[in-house]
């Protein structure tokens, strides 16, 4: 059962085919945010059909559906169109960064994850998003 604190925390959906990476994300962000992790992009998309998280974190290289396709589908969902997305991936090639940002991602973090950097980027995006909606 969720606590009242979990109900008022901002919600983040993280999608990565590695359970280890999802645990690192939870460790880095879980104290401040409610993190919902998925190892399947298709399951995450089903979850997102009727949910409005405050932020989405996507890996690029995943089976079933890659991060670029997920981003494209997310941006087509009216209720998620303005939800900020961060790519979290092991591929730091410039062409991938350009493609991610051109597709609508707000930021790009290269693995291995520095938990402090990830938290600061999430904080900054969510603070800016809140200010933009005020």
For position 37, which CATH number holds?
3.40.50.2300
Confidence (pLDDT) at 91:
84
- The three-state DSSP-derived secondary structure of the chain is CCCHHHHHCCEEEEECCCHHHHHHHHHHHCCCCEEEEECCHHHHHHHHCCCCCCEEEECCCCCCCCHHHHHHHHHHCHHHCCCCEEEEECCCCHHHHHHHHHCCCCEEEECCCCHHHHHHHHHHHHHHHHHHHC
Q: In total, how many domains does the chain have?
A: 1
Domain that holds residue 106: 4-133
> pLDDT tens, 57-88?
999 999 899 999 999 999 999 999 999 999 99
> pLDDT tens, 87-114?
998 888 899 889 999 999 999 999 999 9
Confidence (pLDDT) at 134:
44
User: Residue 125: which pLDDT band, with cuts at 50, 70 and 90?
Assistant: very high
């Amino acid at each position: 059962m969720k606590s009242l604190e979990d109900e008022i925390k901002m919600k983040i959906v993280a999608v990565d085919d590695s359970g280890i990476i999802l645990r690192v994300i939870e460790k880095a962000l879980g104290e401040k945010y409610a993190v919902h992790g998925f190892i399947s992009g298709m399951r995450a998309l089903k979850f997102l059909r009727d949910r409005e998280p405050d932020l989405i974190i996507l890996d690029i290289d995943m089976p079933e559906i890659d991060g670029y396709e997920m981003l494209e589908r997310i941006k087509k969902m009216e209720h998620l169109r303005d939800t900020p997305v961060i790519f979290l991936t092991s591929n730091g090639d410039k062409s991938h960064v350009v493609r991610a940002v051109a597709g609508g991602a707000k930021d790009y973090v290269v693995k291995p994850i520095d938990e402090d950097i990830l938290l600061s980027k999430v904080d900054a995006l969510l603070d800016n998003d809140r200010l933009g909606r005020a």
